[in-house]
Structure 1
Amino acid sequence: MLINTILVGALAAVAHAAQGTLQQMTGDFGPNPTNTFMFFYKPAQLANPPSLLVAMHFCTGTAEAYFTGTQYADLADQLGFIVIYPQSPDGSGGCWDVHTNATLTHNAGGDSLGIASMTRFAIDNWGVDANRVFATGTSSGAMMTSVLMGAYPDLFKGGAGFSGVAFGCFEGPDAWNEQCALGERIMTPQQWGDLVRSGFPGFAGQRPKVQVWHGTADTTLFPQNFFEEIKQWTNVFGYSATPISNITNDPQAGYSFATFGPNFEAILAQGVGHTVPEHAENVLEFFGLS
C-alpha cells in the first residue's frame, strides 16, 4: 500500500469557527531533529493557569486542517486552554513517524521529540500547568498520541486516540506496517505492556490516562487493533481485561463505551469505518478539562 494512501482522516465536513486564528511558532522551541512544525491557538481569555492540549492531524493532513475540522479551538475559547497543532515534516506525506526506534524512545529523536519540545516550550514560556497537559489525534495522529503516552509519560497526563493502534505496533524499518494495519500483529498483554514500558526505561511516575476509539468497519487499520490496544493498556495499568462497565449507545447510537478503570476507556463504534469522528467534548471530559 502506498504511504500517501494511508490513514486519511474523515473529518466532519462542517468547519468550526474559532474566535481567533491559528499561529505558527517560527523561532527555536527546542530539539527538533525531524523539523516538525509548531502551530498553536491561544484564546483571548486564558485560564489561570492554562491547560494544554496537543492535537495531531491525520495522515495527509495539516495543522490547519485539524484546526478548522475539529472543535478543540472552539472549546479552547470557552474553557481557556491552549492548543498546539503540530504539523508533520516536509516530505513525510503528512504522516507521523510512529515506527522508528528514535520516535518510540524517550528523548531519542524522531517526530515525537519535536512534539515533546513544543510541549516543554509551552510549559516553560506560556505558564501552562504542567499537571494538565494532554494529547489527542486522529488516525496517524492517534498513533502519535499512543507514542507520546509511551515515550513521554513524564510530560502528558492523558491521551485520546481516534482510530489508531497500540504503542509500538508500527515499529520496524518501514513507515507502513502492513501486519499491524491488517490487525495481524497479535501479542500478549504482557508483551504489549512491555513495549510501552520500553519507551521510557526506568520511568516510575504515574502513567497518563488513555482513551481509545475505533470503528468496527475500519479497513485501513483493522478493528483487531482496538482489541490489541485494550490488551496493552489494561496491562500497563494493571486492570482486568474485562471492563467494569460497558454502556451501549454511548455517546451515540451504535457506540459501546467500556471503562476498565479510572485511567482507561475504550469506545467501539459499530459500522463506522476509518476514521471515527472526533468527540471533542467526551475527550475533554475524560481529561477533566470541561
Structure 2
Amino acid sequence: MKRLTAILAGACAALLCAVMALVLSRPATAAGLVQVTDFGDNPGNLQMYVYRPDQAPAAPAIVLAMHPCGGSGPGFYSSSEFASLADRYGFIVIFPSASKKMNCFDNWSDASKVRGGRTDPVSLMSMVTYVERQYHGDPDRVFVTGSSSGAMMTNAMAALYPEVFKAGAAFMGVPFTCFPNEGSYNPGGNSAPCVNKSAQQWGDVVRQANPSYQGPWPRMQLWHGTADTVVSYAELAEEVKQWTNVHGLSTTPTSTDTPQSGWTRQRFADSSGAVQVEAISVSGAGHSLPMSGMAAAAIHFFGLDSGGPTPPTSPTPPPGDSACWISYTANTWNNGFTGNVTITDHGTSPINGWTVTWTWPGNQQITGMWNATITQSGAQVTARNVSFNATIAPGAQVSFGFQGTYSGTNTAPAGFALNGGACTIVT
C-alpha cells in the first residue's frame, strides 16, 4: 500500500487528481454544497456532502459521485461537471470523502467485497438512504459514478447493491474484487493487475455477492484512457468481461461508433436492443478522466437529461458579439478559490489550437490546473490547450479550470482573449 500511495501521489502531481487533491483539502463553503455529519451507520469513517439544486423536483433522482485517490467530496464537486448538470436536470448529487490511505475508497479489504461488510460500501449506502429520507430522493432513480478509486467503488456498489442502483458510470476503474488485499492495491506499480480471469469468473464474483438476486442488474458505462499509466487501459476489457457476463451478453459488441472525436464507444445490447453495457476508450488520454463533456455523457446514459426542470439555455452575450464566447465562474472560500473557463466557438470555422489570456484585477495566483497548461507572470495569465481538447468545432465548447489563492477581493477578470483576439464574455 505504501507503493500505491507514492505512485498515486506522483501521478496526481502531474495529472488531474493533483488538482483534485489540492481542491479537496479545502472546506466546503461554496453555495449549495452541504456537509451532513450524522447520516447513519458509518463504519468506513467517510464524510458526506450533498448538492441539491434550487429547482429540484419533489422526488429527485440521486447520483452518488466518488472522487479518485488523493481527492475529496468538495474537490470532486468543484472539479467535475456533475453539480452543473444537477442544476440543469434537477437531480441530487452525493459527494462522499474517503478516509483510507491517500484518501482512497476501500476496494481491497475482505469487508469491501461482501454485502453489509463493515467498511466503505455500508457508509455509502447510509448516505443514499439518508438522501431518500431527508431529501425525498426517488429510490427508483439512484445512480453511481466515480473516478479511479471512485470508479472501482462504482463497480463494487453496483455489484453489492444491484437492487439499489439502476446504472453506473466508472471512469478508469477495475473489475469488482480485482485486489485480493491491501498489499496488492498497487495499480500504478503493476501494468495490469487484474487480467487473469475469464468473463465467467468475473461474472461469478458479482453473482456470488448476492446469491439469491436474479436481476435486473445495473446498466454499466465504462471509460478508460488508452495512455493511462496508473490504472492500465487493459482493465477496461476486464470490466467489459465482468458486466457483459453478468447481463448474459457476449463480449463482442453489438455496435461501435465515435460519438466524439477521440472517443471509441463499444455498445453491448440485449435481444430487445437495449444497451446494457458500453465501453468508451479515450484516445491518448492518461489518468485524467472525466474530462469536459464526459459527465454529461454519463448523465445521458443514466437517462437523466430529459424532462429536467431547467433545460439548457444558450448563453446571452452583451452587445458587440464576437466569434469567441467565454464564460467564467469561480467558487471562493477564505483565501482560496477554483475557477472554470468555458470557451464557445461562436464562429463558422473550427478553432485548431487555442491560447486564452487574461489579466487578474487583484493578486490572484494560480496554484493548480486541469484540462489546460497554465502559466502566470505577475497578473498576466496564459492558458493553452492540451492534446485532447485542441480543436473546438463551430458551436462546440471546451472547458478548463484551476485552483488559486488570493487576498482581499476575488474579482473576476474584466476580459479574455483567444489566440490574440478579444472574446465576448457571456453569462
TM-score using structure 1 length? 0.91
Q: Percent identity?
A: 39
Alpha-carbon distance, 1:121 to partner:
1.4
Q: Judge conservation of contact 1:103–1:110 (CA < 8 Å) in 2.
A: yes
Report the Cα distance in structure 1 between the residues aligned to 2:137 and 2:189, rounded to whole angstroms.
36
Worse-matched range after superposition: 226-235 or 270-279: 270-279
1:211 and 2:226 aligned: no
AA matched with 1:5: I
Contact kept, 8 Å, 1:23 with 1:40, in 2: the verdict is yes
Q: Cα–Cα, structure 1 residues 269 and 195, in superposed 2: closer, same or farther, change >3 Å?
A: same
Q: Which residue of 1 aligns with 2:209?
A: 199
Q: Structure 2 matches for 1:86-235, cutoff 5 A? A: 86-89=96-99, 91-174=100-183, 176-178=185-187, 181-185=190-194, 186-235=196-245
Change (3 A) 1:180 1:93: closer
Greater share of residues in strand: 2
Against the structure 1 CA distance between its residues 191 and 53, is the aligned structure 2 distance closer, same or farther, given a 3 Å change threshold? same
* Residue in structure 1 matched with residue 90 of structure 2 by the alignment: 80
Unaligned runs of 5+ in 1: none
Deviating more after overlay: 175-184 vs 207-216: 175-184
Q: Which amino acid aligns with 2:153?
A: M
Separation in 1, partners of 2:161, 2:138: 16
Q: 2:283 aligns with which of 266, 270, 273?
A: 270
Shift of 1:165: 0.6
Does structure 1 residue 288 correspond to structure 2 residue 297? no
Contact 1:256 1:267 survives alignment (8 Å): yes
Residues of 2 paired with 1:127 and 1:281: CA distance?
A: 24
Could you say if the C-alpha distance between residues 144 and 75 of structure 1 is closer, same or farther in structure 2, counting changes exceeding 3 Å?
A: same
Q: Are the equivalent residues in 1 in contact too, given 2:178–2:193 (CA < 8 A)?
A: no
Aligned pairs for 1:11-22 (under 5 A) are: 20-22=31-33
Q: Which residue identity does 2:202 align to in structure 1? A: W
Change (3 A) 1:122 1:180: farther
Q: Tell me by how many angstroms 1:48 deviates.
A: 2.6
Q: What is the letter of the counterpart of residue 265 of structure 2?
A: F
- Output the CA distance in 1 between the equivalents of 2:141 and 2:161: 14
Q: CA deviation at 1:173?
A: 4.0
CA distance in 2: counterparts of 1:12 and 1:99, whole angstroms: 23
Deviates most, 105-114 or 178-187: 178-187
Match of 1:25 in 2: 36
Q: What secondary structure does 2:140 align onto?
A: coil
Asked if structure 2 preserves the Cα contact closer than 8 Å seen for 1:57 and 1:63, the reply is yes
Contact 1:12–1:69 (CA<8 Å) still a contact in 2?
no
Displacement of 1:175 in angstroms is 6.2
Mean CA deviation greater in 129-138 or 2-11: 2-11
> 1:36 pairs with 21, 25, 46, which one?
46
Q: Name the SS for the 1:86 alignment partner.
A: coil
CA contact 1:12–1:70 (8 Å) conserved in 2: no
Q: Deviations over 1:183-238 (max 9, x none)?
A: 14321001000111122232223111110000111111111101111111110101
Q: Distance in 2 between matches of 1:108 and 1:76?
A: 31
* Alignment equivalent of 2:16, drawn from 10, 17, 27: 10
1:256 aligned to 2:258? Answer: no
SS at match of 1:263: strand
Change (3 A) 1:25 1:175: farther
Residue 130 (structure 1) shift:
0.7
Question: Residue 58 of structure 1 contacts residue 138 of structure 1 at CA under 8 Å; is this kept in 2?
Answer: yes
- For residues 110 and 168 of structure 1, the distance between their equivalents in structure 2, rounded to whole angstroms, comes to 14
CA contact (8 A) 1:142 1:160 kept: yes
| 8 Å contact kept, 1:214–1:275 | no
Match for 2:177: what amino acid? G
Q: For the residues of structure 2 that align with 1:230 and 1:269, how far apart are their CA atoms?
A: 15
Deviation, 1:100, is: 1.2
Deviations 1:162-187 (A, max 9, x none): 11111111232436245995214321
Give 1:127's aligned amino acid: H
With normalisation by structure 2, the TM-score equals 0.63
Q: Which amino acid aligns with 1:165?
A: V
TM superposition shift of 1:11:
6.0
**What RMSD in Å do the two structures reach over aligned CA positions?**
2.3
Distance in 2 separating the partners of 1:30 and 1:3: 29
